[in-house]
Structure 1
Amino acid sequence: MDLAPEALAGPLLMLLSYVGLGWIAAQRLKLDPRPIATLLVYLIAPFTIFRALMNGGSTPNYLLLTLALFILSSLMALIVHRLTRHRFGEQEAALLAFSSGTGNTGYFGLPIAFILLPPEGVTLYLFCMLGINIYEFTVGFYLSARGRFSVRESLIKISRLPLIYTFLLALLLSSLNIMPPAEVMHALEVFPATYTLLGMMIIGMTLSQVTLAAWDTRFVASCVGLRYLLWPLVMLAAVLLLQWLGPLSPELGMAMLLLGVVPMASNVVVVAMELGIQPQKGALAVLVSTLLAPLLIPLYLSFMLHLTGLS
């Protein structure tokens, strides 16, 4: 599988331009990003995932990928939370734990997956991404909420998240071989692009409210280190292990490696804003990792594809 860095330059710069667009919108139009964060969490993300599930067609193997990524993300977050809760403030530790289990697999990674992978590879990527999304809005959301709310309040907030019910509905419809009408699926086509656009813009909108006082070198360095050191190593090890255990399709291998090199999740800002836990610090960390992405993603992928023999 060939990786041409120039093929990624345009999409990567386009995604960064969305961040700039969000900053301009907040500065000039005085937009409040909090309602947009709520819209992403409670409406746009669930519809985007529902459409992806119905188009991909749930199979036991695909759902195994979802489960594996959910477990991996949850374990990483729980371990990081345990190691950092006495070294950072309660809210910073919660936000760091949340960010350690996820990445910008949707807003940022999905457009790149469409470029690098064939249709069957994109489907595999989506089901892997879904496991991370489910982590974000269950275990990750709980860890974040515990930085400010009680156990009972945190569980109540999780129970109100529609992504959980969207996922269950999609599985039920797939198991019954029921497909929504073509008109409905066509109408849902608008959501993935909206998901990417608003997800990146909200970083810029939040940054427009950031002051230098929000900069925390230790926090930003920890977030970026987890995203660009720990995740690539974990996904590289996972691909090498699967290759050792048996044949691994190049499409799945590439999808897994891509999950390991995307920048920090924009949902770090979305969730932090929704829960009121240090959204400015989260936005700065996300910005740094996103600015590094055009340099690191082609470099990391080229090296990892060569090392795994997938290039």
Structure 2
Amino acid sequence: MTSMSFIITSILLPIFIQIGVGFLLQKRLKLNIRSLSRVQIYAFIPALIFIKFYTSTLSGAYILQISGFTILLFFILMIISAGVGKVLKLPKKKRKAFENAVILRNQANYGIPLITLLYLESGAELALSIHMVVLLNTNVLLNTVGLYNASSGTYTSKEALSKILRMPMIYTIGLGIICKYMHITLPESIMTTLTIMGNGVVPLALFTMGAQLAETKFDFKDYTISIAAVMRLILSPLLAFAMVYVFGIQGTMAQVLIIGASAPTAVNSVMLSIEFEGDAAYASQAVLLTTLLSFITVTGTIMLVM
């Protein structure tokens, strides 16, 4: 079993220190958060995804299994959160923000650094390849269901599809698979460039996350945010654990799927709420609370599954 001191000092503390640096930089310099996010989405993350799929040992069957698991968990959480939102009698806009706080997880800014550091000395390539498949699926879901919720249900299916087709991750993973299985050898200069860019994802993602959290204000009177946090940080990994057991998934794949399910609320849920006039204040508070509490809950999750 991985010790608590190792998880805290070698994995989570480096993550939160870099988030803290981004937080302080934003307070001091007022960085352009949207530009930082776009650099990740359109350059650094696609480079990392391509490299991981190009060099991946995952079979097509494994990719389908990971995708099916991720999508099924997402919709189970969506059904539960929608039911809880109705029981709490939340207004429509707030109920949609509540659902997003539960179903949208931070697989990029938080998940990539977490998996990278956790598997740094053993099985990093396999673990990251699995995580990249999860990341792709969660991004598609975020830009469809998540976007629909953020706009309180006013975003059309045509506009959602257009948004998905603008996502570079989809084309990157396809290109990586084509180059891999057609045995296309890329020039060393291209591989080196993509590797360097991929290596830049971790610090850039964490700095951006810290900068976004620096703009968040918290309302301690709204108890529903705490309910959303419990569902995101505790219910989600418990469901993932049950699904792993039922489907007989073992080893590194089981670990990565459960740990990924314990990630805090996606930072992009705030950007979607701002852009499409959803409840941005609620989304921001959910991101802040789940990120802070994840220091405790993710530690517990890792200790249980490793």
TM-score with structure 2 length normalisation? 0.81
- For the 8 Å contact 1:124–1:255, the answer to whether it is kept is yes
Please name the residue that 2:5 is paired with.
Answer: 6
Paired position in structure 2 for 1:101: 103
2:285 matched residue in structure 1 = 284
Segment drifting more, 291-300 vs 135-144: 135-144
Shift in Å, 1:253: 2.2
Unaligned runs of 5+ in 2: none
Tell me the TM-score normalised to structure 1 length. Answer: 0.80
1:234 and 2:239 matched: yes
Query: Is 2:159 aligned against 1:158?
Result: no
Paired residue secondary structure (1:188):
helix
Residues 13, 255 of structure 1: alpha-carbon distance in 2 compared, 3 angstrom cutoff? same
SS of equivalent to 1:26: helix
Does residue 171 (structure 1) correspond to residue 172 (structure 2)? The answer is no
The one-character-per-residue Cα deviations of 1:272-309 (angstroms, maximum 9, x if unpaired) are 4554534443232222222222222232333x33xxxx
Residue 25 of structure 2 contacts residue 31 of structure 2 at CA under 8 Å; is this kept in 1? yes
Greater shift in the superposed pair: 133-142 or 13-22: 133-142
In 1: Cα distance, 2:197 partner to 2:35 partner: 17
Q: CA deviation at 1:90?
A: 4.0
Alignment of 1:75-154 (within 5 A): 75-76=75-76, 78-80=78-80, 82-83=82-83, 87-117=89-119, 118-119=122-123, 120-145=126-151, 147=153, 149-154=155-160
One-letter amino acid of the counterpart of residue 234, structure 2: L
- Equivalent residue for 1:66? 66
Q: Please tell me whether the aligned partners of residues 144 and 160 of structure 2 are also in contact (alpha carbons under 8 angstroms).
A: no
Q: 1:114 to 1:249 in 2, by over 3 A?
A: same
Please say if residues 77 and 98 of structure 1, whose CA atoms lie closer than 8 Å, have aligned partners that are also in contact: no
Alpha carbons 2:150, 2:269 under 8 Å: kept: no
Identity %: 21
Given that 1:232 and 1:260 are in contact with CA atoms closer than 8 Å, whether structure 2 keeps it comes out as: yes
The 8 Å contact of residues 37 and 202 in structure 1, kept in 2 or not, is answered as: yes
User: Is 1:187–2:186 an aligned residue pair?
Assistant: no
Choose the corresponding residue for 1:225, options 215, 221, 230: 230
1:230-309 paired onto structure 2 within 5 Å: 230-243=235-248, 248-275=249-276, 277-302=278-303, 304-305=304-305
Structure 2 vs 1, CA of residues 122 and 242 (structure 1 numbering), >3 Å: closer, same or farther? same
- Cα offset for 1:193? 4.3
CA shift digits 1:212-257 (9 cap, x unpaired): 5x666244223312212221211110122133xxxx4422222222
Q: Tell me the C-alpha RMSD between the 2 structures.
A: 3.0
Question: Aligned pair in 2 of structure 1 residues 151, 261: CA closer, same or farther (>3 Å)?
Answer: closer
Greater Cα offset, 144-153 or 10-19: 144-153
